[in-house]
Amino acid sequence: MPTPPPPLPPLAGTTTGPTALRPLIDTVLTALHDGAHRRDGPLPAGGPDAVTPHTRTATHPLIPDHGTGPHHALRTLVTALTEGAADPADPLCTAHLHTPPLALATAADLAASALNPSMDSWDQAPAASALEADTTAALAAEIYPHQPTPDALITTGGTESNQLALLLARERNGPVQTICATNAHHSITRAAWLLGLPTPLTIPAPNGVMDLTALHQALTHHRHQPLLVTATAGTTDTGQIDPLTAIADLCTTHGAELHIDAAYGGPLLFSPTHRNKIHGLDRAHSVTLDLHKLGWQPAPAGILAVPHRNHLTPLHHQAPYLNADDDTEAGLPDLLGRSLRTTRRPDALKIAVTLQALGRTGLADLIDRTLTTAHHLADLIDKTPTLDLYDHPTISTVLFRPTNATDTTVATIRRTLLTRGHAVLGRAHAHNRLWLKATLLNPHTTPHHLHTLLDLVNQLTHDLAEGNTPR
């Protein structure tokens, strides 16, 4: 007797998809729960030497001759990934602009995966394209409230948004010379390289923000070229905000264009308490904003906003199978110019769900709590005689280091906390020294967690001073 063919794996869509998904999701949720219990901390202990073989053993073989079935595979791989995760929802995981996603945004992302609209043509995304258009228009209006036709694109994040900003500036002005400060994100230099533009001119940021005298000099010196200044609202290392209004004034005086990388700081717009910190954002020719940072979205959730819809015209592109002229004339929205990508996820769904579920006040509350927590951490460090504070935070980044420690000790502390699985802290250079960096993005973090974090650092500093070798 020939063996019967295996049953076809069910699909996620139509009316039958939810029925097939429900038990699978249950398995995933159990695996997320069990994996987090096994880890029991912000990240797994042992560093790559332990985690890589452990993960490999647990997930092997990745391509068996005969499949293990959906529940087994989901249980095995999701448990292994969770057990070995650096979980940004753990308050002691606070190194990077690595956000703990909201449960509601994650649930929305599941629907995006199930429906799988592709945002490159209307016939693959009828409602999703309408939702994306409204979401981007609403976000653009937040950034450019005084413009009649602002617009925004959904991107994979700050890197892509910055790249598009330089591309659009090049298309408007020819081969622009970018001027940025040493505090700019590395993606600016990479974008210039990728686009065949001159290497950005980098001016000093002596106190963590762009130096205005140096900017004035650079704008004067290079006045015969098309210039694009890129300022940062929320720097990666220290979370500081360049003096946006003064920079915009200098750009206007010298006829230069301005891009503001507000990947981190942009969402302060939603907080009546903190939005004054990014005053001047709407003076920019383009703005980068990431909702997978201070917007609690699972990545990716990037935005590039422009003040005038027609600034996006250079991205127009035709592929007859996606946006034939007669289809566009017949009223089908032409989506191909909304990205350089073709197949594209409906990231607008999780963003829209979050905006609607929380509303302005809910978002402002999350932002305000997070910034208050960061201030609290800075105050605690300030009061601890064994620790030095770099500065009180502008947004939610707090740099600190053990008093009188060498840079090597600071680096060892960070790596030891990582290897032991006790805490995930970042590192940043400022004022010619290496600092531990806490980027607070978790609105659930309590003073107790902050005390625990500082106790871990103090204890380790003490042990190292006593000559105890870290394991």
Ligand X SMILES: Cc1ncc(COP(=O)(O)O)c(C=O)c1O
CB of 232 to ligand X, least distance (A): 5
Q: Is 290 in the site for ligand X (CB under 6 A)?
A: yes
Neighbours of 418 (CB within 10 A): 21
Question: In the complex, what is the shortest distance from the CB of residue 299 to ligand X, in angstroms, rounded to a whole number?
Answer: 7
**Burial class, 249, CB count within 10 angstroms (exposed 0-12 / middle 13-18 / buried 19+):** middle
Binding of ligand X at residue 185 (CB under 6 A)? yes
Distance CA 168, CA 160 (A): 12
Q: Which is nearer to ligand X, 117 or 302 (CB)?
A: 302
Q: Which C-beta is closer to ligand X: that of 294 or that of 460? A: 294
Q: Which amino acid is at 412?
A: T
Q: Which is nearer to ligand X, 164 or 453 (CB)?
A: 164
Among the residue ranges 24-32, 152-160, 195-203, 207-215, the one whose residues contact ligand X (CB under 6 A): 152-160
Q: Which of 43, 77, 86, 97 binds ligand X (CB under 6 A)?
A: 97
**Of 101-109, 120-128, 151-159, 172-180: span binding ligand X (CB under 6 A):** 151-159
Compute how many other C-beta atoms are within 10 angstroms of the C-beta atom of residue 40: 11
**Per-residue binding letters, 228-267, with ligand X (x by CB under 6 A):** ----x-x-x------------------------x-xx---
From 187, 396, 416, 442, residue interacting with ligand X (rule: CB under 6 A): 187
- Closest distance between ligand X and the C-beta of residue 63, in Å? 30
Residue count, binding to ligand X (CB under 6 A): 14
> What residue number has its CB nearest to ligand X?
157
User: Least separation, in Å, of the C-beta of 261 and ligand X?
Assistant: 5
* Nearest Cα to Cα of residue 129 among 450, 310, 349, 407: 349
Q: How far is the CB of 264 from ligand X (least distance, A)?
A: 5
Give the DSSP H/E element, type plus range, for residue 33.
Answer: helix 17-39
Burial of 253 (C-beta count, 10 Å sphere; 0-12/13-18/19+) = exposed
CA distances to 91, 360, 378, 429, 443 from 372, rounded to whole Å, are: 15, 18, 10, 24, 9
The 3-state secondary structure of 78-90 reads HHHHHHCCCCCCC
- Residue 66, by phi and psi: left (phi above 0), alpha (psi -120 to 50) or beta? beta
First to last CA, the chain: 60
286 lies in the site for ligand X, by CB under 6 A? no
Cα distances (Å, whole numbers) of residue 85 to 36, 163, 320, 417: 8, 30, 43, 15
6 Cβ neighbours under 8 A, 6+ residues apart: 67
- Name the residue nearer to ligand X (CB basis): 82 or 162: 162
Q: Which contiguous run of DSSP H or E holds residue 246? A: helix 244-254
158 part of the interface to ligand X, by CB under 6 A: yes
List the one residue from 302, 346, 393, 426 that touches ligand X (CB under 6 A). 302
Here the tokens at position 98 are 């690595």
Per CB under 6 A, the list member of 44, 84, 157, 402 interacting with ligand X is: 157
Work out whether 297 is an interface residue with ligand X (CB under 6 A): no
CB of 186 to ligand X, least distance (A): 8
Residue 393 is a binding residue for ligand X (CB under 6 A)? no
What would the two tokens of residue 30 be?
């159990």
Residue in 82, 129, 159, 271 binding ligand X, rule: CB under 6 A:
159
- Is residue 304 a contact partner of residue 164, using CB atoms and an 8 Å limit? yes
| 86 vs 454 by CB, closer to ligand X | 86
Minimum distance, C-beta of residue 395 to ligand X, in the bound complex (Å)? 11
Give the pairing of strands 257-261 and 286-290: parallel
Nearer to ligand X by Cβ, of 154 and 263: the residue is 263
The least CB distance from residue 209 to ligand X, in Å, is 13
Residue pair 270/363 in contact by the 8 Å Cβ criterion: yes
Closer of 264 and 270 to ligand X (Cβ): 264
Q: Which residues bind ligand X (CB under 6 A)?
A: 97, 157-159, 185, 187, 232, 234, 236, 261, 263-264, 290, 302
